[in-house]
Amino acid sequence: MNETSKPILQEDEIDLRELFKTLWDKRVFIALFTCSVTALAIVYALFQNPTPLYKGTVFVEIGEIQRENFQASLLDHPSNLAIILEREKGVQATVPKGSVSILEVQKTDTDVSRIKESLGAAIEFIMQRHQEKAAFHENVIMTKQIGEISAGTTPINTPKKQLLIVVGAMTGFIFSIFLVFLMQFIRGDEATASKA
């Protein structure tokens, strides 16, 4: 088979110059579409003011029962106590990494004073529960609160307005390029259909 008998498929080749020429010809459409989407992102970011949420935290060290054989056991298993606190007091509790007897108790709310009240009630609940458990044992290291209840005055749910605007602009730009190529493809199919 010689070179002239091989079929040449030029339709499958991508001409980068033609693609860039198409984008350059539609640069006004791309710029206007990108600016429109960016303006919508700016309006959305400016008017997005969610109800501020605050977060409070307190740490508790769970006490131990010292047995006669010098083996110590916790008054409560931290993961079980976390489930009880969530169910009974409406607070979240987690065990920090690398810890066995420390429990981090957290509460989020729109009011800082309610956060402090909830965390205070949770601490009282834990202390009373552990005093009742410790009453049956002689050698007990009691549960104690580590530090004060800290409730931040800065909301934890502030929107990232600059990020929203940048994402909106990039999305508008990419989508405008997609639309340009889609319109070019549709026009190419219409031209092919009219020739046939």
- At 80, which CATH number? 3.30.70.1130
156 part of a folded domain: no
Note whether 30 and 183 are within 8 A (CB): no
183 part of a folded domain: no
96 part of a folded domain: yes
28 part of a folded domain: no
What is the signed CA dihedral for 28, 184, 23, 176, rounded to 10 degrees?
60
Query: What average pLDDT does this structure show over 43-56?
Result: 86
Calpha distance 178→137 (Å, rounded): 73
Lowest mean pLDDT across 3-7, 72-76, 87-91: 3-7
Task: Give tens-digit pLDDT for 131-182.
Answer: 998 888 788 889 999 999 998 888 888 778 899 899 999 999 999 999 998 9
Range of the domain at 143: 54-151
Long-range contacts of 127-131 (CB under 8 A, 24+ apart): 129/76, 130/62, 130/63, 130/75, 130/76
26 part of a folded domain: no
63 part of a folded domain: yes
Assigned token pair, 126 = 């834990």
Angle at 189 between CA 185 and CA 191, to 5 degrees: 115
Helix then strand then coil, in percent of the chain rounded to 5, is 55, 20, 30
Residue-level pLDDT at 6: 53
184 part of a folded domain: no
Asked if the model's pLDDT at residue 78 lies above 70, the reply is: yes
Asked if the model's pLDDT at residue 44 lies above 80, the reply is: yes
23 part of a folded domain: no
pTM for this entry: 0.61
Calpha distance 125→135 (Å, rounded): 16
Asked if the model's pLDDT at residue 84 lies above 80, the reply is: yes
Number of domains composing the chain: 1
